[in-house]
Structure 1
Amino acid sequence: MQLTTTEVKLFLLTQFIFKMRAVDTLVVHCSASPEGRPHTVADIRSWHKAQGWSDIGYHYVVYLDGSVHPGRPVEKIGAHVVGHNKGSIGIVYVGGTDAKGRSKDTRTAAQRASLRKLLTELAAKYKVKRILGHHDLFAGKDCPCFDAKSEYADIVKGLK
């Protein structure tokens, strides 16, 4: 299922109406899956539940074709970066490794465009202070396999 911009906005509004929590950070992740291999919200939810989690840890998933799909409801605290879940929203793009499992920025052009659009919308809606990659908050991780903090700095700067 691919969401239209209107559906994403409606979803965001619905999340805000129902007990929205304070959010000041957007955290970008990769699914740590091989380049070009499609995975779905259901796949990631299954991986996370197999780890004993209650649900998918991320709030949004960006597929290879750039379509954006809801994961865990935004009003619920995510499970995507230890010690930083309470005030953040987790966004994951499908990919992040080469065929041999080595870290690699595998974002498609469609994923790049959709990530930027989604992050811009979320940053404006929640007046976030920062957009970071998982590795910026958790040393020893390559995720999301690119420098999200630098790449998206202009989004946050534009809110000031």
Structure 2
Amino acid sequence: MSLPILKIVIHCSATQNGKQLRNKTETAAQVIDHWHQQRGFQRQSWAYRTFNPYLQHIGYHYVIDTDGMVETGRKVGETGAHVKGHNQNSIGICLVGGISIDGKNFGRYTAKQWQALHRLLCELESQHPSAKICGHRDLSPDLNGDGTITPNEWLKDCPCFDVWAWLDSGEVINTDHLFND
């Protein structure tokens, strides 16, 4: 019996907004897998032998590149490596991008990424109705104990937009965080 999914956590790759991570020889998930290998992440051998054996280190369950391609990383139900203290019973989704070259427009994603994220979240919500959707930054510790995690308490700004405000807006494409090339 698999454990219930209680959180769906949105991340960013902290790479340049609008710049595809996939290259001529590797998918975006494979590029991230190399980064996670360098950080010491390791999937359990039984897990990668049965699901995505070429991704032995990736911490995320899904990666969405700038063209809207959704790739699987870890299998849903496999413990991730994406938010310290919140990896069990969660799904990690990584949007490629998040960093701007001008240092001002963080968290800009393409229309295709927004559409893909929206579709994926609809699918995951129907499969895991008890799961709370949030951004990585929303799982930072409440340092002053007031029950609210404020920007000065964020360990990271990831995914560089307010996930709850976007979901509450009902928009598929978050126009405030749309990358326009």
TM-score w.r.t. length of structure 2: 0.70
Query: Per the alignment, do residues 49 and 100 of structure 1 end up closer, same or farther by CA in structure 2, a change over 3 Å counting?
Result: farther
**Equivalent residue of 1:142, what SS?**
coil
* Aligned length, in residue pairs: 137
Tell me whether 102-111 or 117-126 shows the greater mean CA deviation. 102-111
In structure 1, runs of 5+ residues without a counterpart are: 1-18, 156-160
Q: Is the 8 A contact 2:62 2:70 kept in 1?
A: yes
Q: Is the 8 A contact 2:77 2:89 kept in 1?
A: no
Q: What percentage of residue pairs aligned between the two structures are identical?
A: 42
Q: Is the 8 A contact 1:63 1:93 kept in 2?
A: yes
Q: 1:140 Cα shift? A: 2.3
For the pair shown, which has the larger CA radius of gyration, 1 or 2? 2
Q: Is the 8 A contact 2:5 2:77 kept in 1?
A: no
Q: Is the 8 A contact 2:6 2:132 kept in 1?
A: yes
Amino acid at match of 2:163: A
Query: Per the alignment, do residues 115 and 49 of structure 1 end up closer, same or farther by CA in structure 2, a change over 3 Å counting?
Result: same
Task: Give the superposed CA RMSD.
Answer: 1.8
Task: Give deviations 1:53-79, integer Å, cap 9, x for gaps.
Answer: 111110000010111100111121000
Amino acid at match of 2:96: V
Which residue number in structure 2 is paired with residue 46 of structure 1? Answer: 34
In structure 2, runs of 5+ residues without a counterpart are: 22-27, 43-56, 141-153, 171-181
**Equivalent residue of 1:56, what SS?**
coil
Query: Per the alignment, do residues 82 and 34 of structure 1 end up closer, same or farther by CA in structure 2, a change over 3 Å counting?
Result: same
Which structure has more helix as a fraction of its residues?
1
